[in-house]
Amino acid sequence: MSSMKPLHEVFHNWQEKLDQDEWYFGHFFEEITTSMTSEEAFQYIPVVIQEVMKLRNGFLIGEMVDFLHAVYEVANTTEIHPILIQEKENIEGVIRKFGDEYSQQAFREFKKSLRWN
């Protein structure tokens, strides 16, 4: 777990990297989750939430919501992380204010997968 790339590094020169590899985000995120246990993934959820809260770009918010969903799949639980409960309104505020149609849809899908309103 300690050898893991810091999540915020995904945003360094992301436009350039995306031009070179259209699956840049997927590959970066996969590198993070590939060796995670379900418990590690669950503990990682607040890290992802923290990054979502900093974003002001609709496209990046959508990518990060998708990643949150992927981390939850690795965690293999429908238990809603306490930090997610605590930050739900803030996340929805960020998505409402800065998100695009895709990120809004992605968050709806994510909540539906957890059976969470």
Note the pTM of the prediction, 2 decimals.
0.94
pLDDT tens digits, 25-39: 999 999 999 999 999
Residue 18 domain boundaries: 7-113
In a domain, 40, yes or no: yes
Q: Nearest 5°: CA angle at 112, between 105 and 37? A: 105
Query: In Å, what is the CA distance from 99 to each residue of 35, 56, 58, 65, 117?
Result: 30, 8, 4, 10, 19
In a domain, 57, yes or no: yes
Amino acid symbol at 59? F
**Diameter of the chain measured on Cα atoms:** 38
pLDDT tens digits, 47-91: 999 999 999 999 999 999 999 999 999 999 989 999 999 999 999
Q: How many domains does the chain have?
A: 1
Which run of H or E residues covers position 43?
helix 38-54
In a domain, 2, yes or no: no
Confidence of residue 109 (pLDDT cuts 50, 70, 90): very high
In a domain, 12, yes or no: yes
Q: Taking 90 as the threshold, does the pLDDT of residue 5 lie above it?
A: no
In a domain, 75, yes or no: yes
In a domain, 19, yes or no: yes
Integer Cα distance of 54 and 74 in angstroms: 23
In a domain, 77, yes or no: yes
